[in-house]
Amino acid sequence: MHELGIVEGWLSTARQAADGHRVKRCRVSVGELAGVDFGALDFAFQAAAPRFLGTDQAQLAVTRVPARLRCAGPGGCGAEYAFAEQGAICPRCGATTPEWISGLELRLDSIVIDEQEPPNV
Ligand SMILES: [Zn+2]
């Protein structure tokens, strides 16, 4: 389950960024084609969060990023389109040499900390 490794990376970063404050929420962006199971991601977060953050109250807020492509390469027309609807074929010119705009993200965007709680030193 590689979701655990991903989540542990986020949690490690979140712990450092929180600098001793209690982490209430981790906001992440996950691309539709990043190759993760969203259910497994949530499960892994709940399982690993207490070990990193010292609380089982932290939440994972996931923004799903749709997969989008831009028509590129020699002769590409530059059109942008949704992978889900078109696959890798440009709907405008039919070229098959797109580049990814989004959809592969696995990114910790921000954390929310509880500023009421004094830092645990
Ligand atoms: Zn095109």
Domains of the chain listed by start with CATH number? 2-114 (3.30.2320.80)
The pLDDT, as a whole number, for residue 86 is: 83
Helix (H, G, I), strand (E, B) or coil at 39: helix
Considering the entire predicted model, what is its pTM?
0.84
Q: Which residues pair with 62 in a beta bridge?
A: 28
Predicted confidence band at 1 (pLDDT cuts at 50, 70, 90)?
low
Q: Which residues pair with 80 in a beta bridge?
A: 70
Cα 26 to ligand 1 centre (Å): 37
Cα 63 to ligand 1 centre (Å): 28
Cα 80 to ligand 1 centre (Å): 8
Residues 82 and 66: their CA atoms lie apart, in Å, by: 8
Asked if 70 contacts 101 with a C-beta cutoff of 8 angstroms, the reply is yes
- DSSP result, 67-107: PEEEE-STT----EEEHHHHTTS-TTT----EEEEES--EE
The chain-wide mean pLDDT, for the chain, equals: 93
The pLDDT, as a whole number, for residue 119 is: 61
For residue 118, pLDDT over 80 is answered with no
Cα 89 to ligand 1 centre (Å): 8
Average pLDDT over residues 112-116: 87
Cα 69 to ligand 1 centre (Å): 10
Cα 71 to ligand 1 centre (Å): 5
Q: 86 — phi, psi (to 5°)?
A: -115, -10
